A and B are shown apart, each in its own frame.
Chain A
Amino acid sequence: MALDPILLSRLQFAFVVSFHAIFPVFTIGLASYVAVLQGLYVATGNSVWDRLGYFWTKIFAVVFGIGVVSGIVMAFQFGTNWSNFVQFAANLIGPLLSYEVVTAFFLEAGFLGVLLFGRNKVSPSVHFFAALMVAVGTFVSAFWILVSNSWMQTPQGFEVREGVMHVTSWMEAMFTPSFPYRFMHMAMAAFLTGGFVVCGVSAWFLLRNRDVEVHKRALSMTLWLLLILTPLQAWIGDEHGLNTLEHQPAKVAAMEGNWETQSNVPLLLFALPDRDLQANRMEIGIPNGASLILRHDADGVVPGLDQVPEDEQPPVWMVFYSFRVMVAMGLLMIFFAVAGLALRRGERYATSRWFLRGLQGMSLAPFLAVLAGWYVTEIGRSPWLVFGVMDYADAVTPSLTGGMVLATLIGYIAVYAVIFYAGVYYLFKVIRQGLDDSHANQGIEDSDRPARPFSATHVPFDGGIDSARS
């Protein structure tokens, strides 16, 4: 079988971006959480907030570090694998991606150092300000990335001259119709990720009776937050879906597994989509459900995949099931947020073993939801790289051979496997060490540098925590 450089390039990009995305989505949420904790410390003077802030700042440092390392590759992949796309779109994509880098540098040179190492060197208010600026900075970075992605989904504000796109209006090109929804949906996803990880880690400590009062506080405030954010995210997601229906109906049709444009479309819970048949081989659904959700009317007409030629349809089953994974994770998140409210009486949210165990597992849910959500929106755009303008075949690097891409794909998987293993192993170590690390850094000589966020933690990489403590 001949190796297809287009498919392999897509796989490679998907692998690298999936691996990378889980780290920034976490740090964006966590940066805001740390800023809240430091703000509470300034407002109340209660040192519990500062201890929590210190603990979560260490975790932030490690995750940020892995995120930066894993992101370097992406900046080069556009050129190595999608050079025709860059050649076509560089006038817009180039400055946008460069601005993301510039933002990150500014952040690193400015406030990250104060946040990570300034705890005992500057006043609490200055430290809080640094935390706030880091949080803002992570959002600004996300802004540039999502501006680029949204332009690829709903392109506008440009004209094509001699095969190259030129920006005619920066405002239009940057603020495309899908951008506000995508940005809100993603920002909320980052908050949920941060929130559920904080809950899961707090639950882990509560189950082990370690620093109960402190982690109970963290859990309580985060559960209140999630009670508001989880339903809010469902609503934003719905709005995002309606926006997609307007601009990319084929994507929504694939999400719903709906082949024919018709009224009274059911909401499918399960289906076996078959592209050759242009129908589902079997399906189980709620009558009129999709019409009600998308048109707010049981008789509402919902566009189907028949709106686009067969060769412009996305791979339906991947979009269909990714969407269901995302929604299922969202519902689970809402369930746990509401259960947290129900368990408020007698503070059972901090003692109930099933709930705490469940929260531990729920730390993974937002990551799964984020990845599944990105698969929906990215695979759902297929076969277009720039929707309606440029497809994968036109975008790929012409000189690529399947063998080259396969070799580097295997290489990246190997490299990332090592980083992921070492990084996550170390992250767990930092978490397990808990709030107090005054004795744990024996034998570790490190220099505190903001450019090297790992240096903010003084936890040994190997050797048991207990032996380090003694």
Chain B
Amino acid sequence: MEMFDLSLIWAVIIAVGVIMYVLMDGFDLGLGILFPFAPDEDSRDVMMNSVAPVWDGNETWLVLGGAGLIGAFPLVYTILLPALYLGVFLLLAGLIFRGVAFEFRFKSHRSKSFWNWAFAGGSFVATFAQGCVVGAYIQGFETADGVYTGGAFDWLTPFSVLTGVGMVIGYSLLGATWLVLKSEGHVREWARGLVPKLLIGVLVIFAIVSLWTPLIDQGVYERWFDNLQVIWVLPFATLLCALGIFLGNRHGREGSAFLLTLGLFIFTYLGLIVSRWPYVVPPQYTLWDAASAPESQFFLLIGVLFVLPIVLTYTAWTYWVFRGKVRVGEGYH
């Protein structure tokens, strides 16, 4: 066990789990946010059918991330969850409502509009809560001796509301580019028209958050402006992605538009990680401070290394089976 830094391995596993979750659940949450604005009920059917086979496979990454945290970095778990107490409740309630709505909308006739609203409302609340979590994370947590000492609403600040709104627009963009990729006709045209507007919204918030973040914490400021010049490649890559999305969407290259939206999220995420690395509970605790005992990390690693390839294979297979466009009035059968 001495040969490997188990904490580092676990940090990579959980970081990958989180971004997998953001990318994959992101586009189906985004569809939920766009749901009320869809031109007609047929489009809503297409939207839901386009994610029906994959959406909760997507959510398994959240559960895997949460389970990994309690096993490998309990301090993250025991500080973040109390600090984000009410936000976590909103996140869970939103995800649950949306999951149940998903199941029952398919089986409903009369009660369809109720489940429509539950789906949209749940998606919006869950996304906004996730965005606030990001904002609260950048701002850091008030702790003493490894225990959260702040208040119930510390996570809700102008900055975290901004990141919350950013997340809502960002997921909507993911949802829109996904929908362009998976649909045809008037549904596709509608989604295509949304992309540039959402992209502008994302860029505006990206710019404000990028300027604001270094002002929050001296360490972040130094990282970006003093010692590590090479990381400027990340925001630059983000902007290149944005340009690519705009052009790809305009010229009907829907595959590249969607993939570049994923890229936009990945580079933003990496930018966030380098801002705070190696602190997992900013501003005080590093990933080594937060780690559980090596024997516990090792014990759990065996099982996860066994199951992770299976989950990955299964996920890839699902996306492969359900590739291609979804047509109006047609589910997957």
Given A105-B60, A399-B149, A76:B92 Cβ within 8 A: yes
B232 interface hit (Cβ, 8 Å): no
Binds A, one of B169-177, B240-248, B259-267, B307-315: B307-315
A46 interface hit (Cβ, 8 Å): no
Contact status A411-B83, CB under 8 Å: no
Contact status B70-A399, CB under 8 Å: no
Contact status B79-A83, CB under 8 Å: yes
A interface: dominant SS:
helix
Q: Mark A397-414, 1 if CB is under 8 A from B, else 0.
A: 111110110011001100
Report how far A86 CA is from B322 CA in the complex, Å. 40
B190 interface hit (Cβ, 8 Å): no
Report how far A455 CA is from B99 CA in the complex, Å. 12
Task: Note all chain B residues with C-beta closer than 8 A to A108.
Answer: 60
B49 interface hit (Cβ, 8 Å): yes
Report which of A80, A102, A170, A399 forms a contact with B88, defined as CB distance below 8 A: A80
A201 interface hit (Cβ, 8 Å): no
Q: Mark B61-94, 1 if CB is under 8 A from A, else 0.
A: 0011011101110110111111101101100110
Contact status A72-B70, CB under 8 Å: no
Contact status B92-A73, CB under 8 Å: yes
Interface residues of A in 400-432 (CB under 8 A from B): 400-401, 403-404, 407-408, 411-412, 415, 418-419, 422-423, 426
Report how far A454 CA is from B103 CA in the complex, Å. 6
Q: Mark A83-115, 1 if CB is under 8 A from B, else 0.
A: 110110011111101110110011011100000
A460 interface hit (Cβ, 8 Å): yes
Task: Note all chain A residues with C-beta closer than 8 A to B89.
Answer: 80, 407-408, 411-412
Contact status A79-B107, CB under 8 Å: no
Report how far A106 CA is from B102 CA in the complex, Å. 23
Given A90-B77, A90-B292, A399-B147, A83:B82 Cβ within 8 A: yes
- Least Cβ distance of B151 to chain A in Å? 8
Report which of B82, B109, B318 forms a contact with A399, defined as CB distance below 8 A: B82
Task: Note all chain A residues with C-beta closer than 8 A to B74.
Answer: 86-87, 90-91, 94
Report how far A88 CA is from B152 CA in the complex, Å. 23
Task: Note all chain A residues with C-beta closer than 8 A to B310.
Answer: 105-106, 109-110
Contact status B57-A451, CB under 8 Å: yes
Task: Note all chain A residues with C-beta closer than 8 A to B78.
Answer: 79, 83-84, 86-87, 90
A78 interface hit (Cβ, 8 Å): yes
Contact status A400-B108, CB under 8 Å: no
Report which of A95, A102, A449, A462 forms a contact with B296, defined as CB distance below 8 A: A95
A119 interface hit (Cβ, 8 Å): no
- Least Cβ distance of B156 to chain A in Å? 13
Report which of B71, B106, B148, B152 forms a contact with A398, defined as CB distance below 8 A: B148
Contact status A444-B107, CB under 8 Å: yes
Task: Note all chain B residues with C-beta closer than 8 A to A444.
Answer: 106-107
Report which of A80, A446, A461 forms a contact with B81, defined as CB distance below 8 A: A80
- Least Cβ distance of A55 to chain B in Å? 18
Task: Note all chain A residues with C-beta closer than 8 A to B85.
Answer: 80, 397, 399-400, 404, 408
Contact status B70-A459, CB under 8 Å: no
A247 interface hit (Cβ, 8 Å): no
Given A79-B82, A460-B109, A94:B72 Cβ within 8 A: yes
Report how far A191 CA is from B160 CA in the complex, Å. 49
Q: Mark A318-336, 1 if CB is under 8 A from B, else 0.
A: 0000000000000000000
Contact status B100-A426, CB under 8 Å: no
B interface: dominant SS:
helix
Contact status A418-B71, CB under 8 Å: no
- Least Cβ distance of B139 to chain A in Å? 16
Report which of B57, B93, B151, B331 forms a contact with A447, defined as CB distance below 8 A: B331
Task: Note all chain A residues with C-beta closer than 8 A to B77.
Answer: 78-79, 83, 86, 90, 94
Binds A, one of B31-39, B203-211, B297-305: B297-305
Given A72-B96, A90-B292, A101-B64, A449:B52 Cβ within 8 A: yes
A75 interface hit (Cβ, 8 Å): yes
Report how far A279 CA is from B111 CA in the complex, Å. 56
The chain A residue sitting closest to B150, CB to CB, is A399
- Least Cβ distance of A468 to chain B in Å? 10
Report how far A419 CA is from B315 CA in the complex, Å. 27
- Least Cβ distance of B296 to chain A in Å? 4
- Least Cβ distance of A385 to chain B in Å? 14
- Least Cβ distance of A307 to chain B in Å? 34
Contact status A167-B67, CB under 8 Å: no
The chain A residue sitting closest to B111, CB to CB, is A462
Report which of A76, A90, A109, A419 forms a contact with B311, defined as CB distance below 8 A: A109
Given A460-B109, A461-B108, A98:B68 Cβ within 8 A: yes
Report how far A173 CA is from B53 CA in the complex, Å. 40
A166 interface hit (Cβ, 8 Å): yes
Contact status A102-B307, CB under 8 Å: yes
Task: Note all chain A residues with C-beta closer than 8 A to B107.
Answer: 426, 444, 446, 454, 458-461
Report how far A463 CA is from B333 CA in the complex, Å. 23
Report how far A356 CA is from B83 CA in the complex, Å. 53
Contact status A84-B147, CB under 8 Å: yes
B285 interface hit (Cβ, 8 Å): no
Contact status A446-B52, CB under 8 Å: yes
Task: Note all chain B residues with C-beta closer than 8 A to A86.
Answer: 70, 74, 77-78
B257 interface hit (Cβ, 8 Å): no
Report how far A399 CA is from B153 CA in the complex, Å. 11
A445 interface hit (Cβ, 8 Å): yes
Report which of A69, A98, A106, A166 forms a contact with B300, defined as CB distance below 8 A: A98
Pairs A–B under 8 Å by Cβ, sample size 26: A69-B99, A72-B95, A72-B96, A75-B67, A80-B82, A80-B88, A80-B89, A86-B77, A91-B295, A94-B72, A98-B70, A99-B303, A102-B304, A105-B310, A105-B311, A399-B149, A399-B152, A411-B93, A422-B104, A426-B107, A443-B109, A444-B106, A445-B330, A452-B102, A455-B106, A462-B109
Taking A95-B296, A102-B306, A398-B82 as given, write out 11 further A-B residue pairs in contact, using a Cβ cutoff of 8 Å, ordered by the A residue number. Answer: A76-B88, A84-B78, A167-B296, A399-B152, A408-B89, A412-B93, A415-B93, A422-B104, A449-B57, A454-B103, A460-B109
Top 4 closest pairs, chain A to chain B, by CB: A79-B81, A90-B74, A445-B331, A94-B71
